[in-house]
Amino acid sequence: MSFKCAFLGCGGRSHAHAWVYPNITRGGAVACCDLVEEKAQAYAEEFGIPAYYTELDEMLEQEKPDLVHMVMPPTIRVPLMTRLAEAGVPAVIVEKPVCIGADDYKALRALEASSSTKFAVNHQLRYHEKMMELLEYVHGGGIGEVRFLDASSVLPMSGQGVHVLDLLFAFADYEPVQTVFGASAGYDDINGTHPSPRTAESLINFPSGKRAALQAGEGAPMMASDQPRHMHKRIAVYGTKGFIHWTMWGYERSLPDGSIETGEHVYREVDDPGQVNLTNAMFDWLEDDNKPAPTNLATSLDEWLVILAGYQSTVTQNPVDMPFDPPDDLLDQFKAFVGAEE
């Protein structure tokens, strides 16, 4: 079947969701919606979308989309996701980060538990062709038993730290986290909608004995000195027989004969197929309840709880046993601890 797809939010980031649709064969764009009519109209014209709206409820009533790409600020995620669920939208791809604090985390936990809508977060990196190949290599024993994972981004935690944390979870094969010990400093807020520590690090332990380091913000490794801050996401995974290392510029992995395979890529060229693969993963889930998208909301909230544990650990100066129940005002507690101005 051909799925009907719509877009909520017609800003710049939303374009990356829409411009790949010529390469998507199992669904088509039927409508877009934005509060600014001129923006919605221009978006529809640019991407050949037949209808545009300024009212969400009207779009849902008229078009009855199977999948909605929701690309709106994280400060208003909860009410919009709730409206989509209450309207019975079958599936929603939500732009990252899915949360900004503990109160919205708890609200989305409740929504995920009560709603039949299939929500997934737009961690398209997880769906890059080379990333999926490396995941298969690691999970197939290519580097032996995983012992240590090292993920970092130069943009802060709410900016791109969530992306590399999602990769960390994937390479750890979604093993539940046992403890988190975090250290964070300063305060950053990209566009007034992405509050984060200016720099944050967490040491993560798993029940199997594997360990991980997560770093986001100032002090994270710069992979190329002439590139902007958002071009420095990376992850390395070390096992008993070798390693893999992925960056936004290329990859390396150890081979059974002891040699090292390396390769380069142009990020934009590999990112668009990742967006296609993510969208197709949502179609797979729509067709089969037993095939949830890997970046589904439940998993993404497990990941966000690790970030909250890093905040909690910073404030209490103690490790945090997982899972834990974060206080609703944890973000405010963290801001007060680091002396962030209101």
Distance CA 71, CA 122 (A): 9
Element (H, E) at 40: helix 37-47
Q: Hey, is 170 helix, strand or coil?
A: helix
Query: Can you give the pLDDT at residue 341?
Result: 60
Distance CA 162, CA 197 (A): 13
* 188-190 vs 234-239, strand pairing mode: unpaired
Instruction: Dig out the tokens for 264 from the structure.
Output: 């380069």
**Global pTM value:** 0.96
Which residue in 140, 216, 133 sits closest to 173, CA to CA? 140
Which residue in 63, 70, 126, 122 sits closest to 97, CA to CA? 122
Query: Can you give the pLDDT at residue 189?
Result: 84
DSSP 43-110: HHHHHT-SEEES-HHHHHHHH--SEEEE---GGGHHHHHHHHHHTT-SEEEEPSPS-SSSHHHHHHHH
Residue 182 neighbours by CB under 8 Å, 6+ apart: 200, 201, 202, 203, 309, 310, 311, 312, 313, 314, 320
Element (H, E) at 166: helix 162-171
Q: How far, CA to CA in Å, does 320 sit from each of 29, 122, 187, 207, 337?
A: 44, 27, 21, 14, 17
Q: 250 has which bridge partners?
A: 264
What structural domains does the chain harbor? Answer: 3-124+273-296 (3.40.50.720), 128-265+305-316 (3.30.360.10)
Distance CA 86, CA 83 (A): 5
Query: Can you give the pLDDT at residue 192?
Result: 79
Overall residue count recorded for the chain in this entry: 342
Query: Can you give the pLDDT at residue 342?
Result: 53
Query: Can you give the pLDDT at residue 304?
Result: 98
Instruction: Dig out the tokens for 232 from the structure.
Output: 């420095």
Which residue in 16, 31, 162, 25 sits closest to 100, CA to CA? 162
Please list the pLDDT of the chain residue by residue as tens digits (342 residues). Answer: 599 999 999 999 999 999 999 999 999 999 999 999 999 999 999 999 999 999 999 999 999 999 999 999 999 999 999 999 999 999 999 999 999 999 999 999 999 999 999 999 999 999 999 999 999 999 999 999 999 999 999 999 998 999 999 999 999 999 999 999 999 999 988 777 889 899 999 999 999 999 999 999 999 998 877 788 888 999 999 999 999 999 999 999 999 999 999 999 999 999 999 999 999 999 999 999 999 999 999 999 999 999 999 999 999 999 999 999 999 999 999 999 998 865
Q: Do 154 and 188 contact (CB within 8 A), yes or no?
A: no
Sign of CA dihedral 81, 175, 160, 274: negative
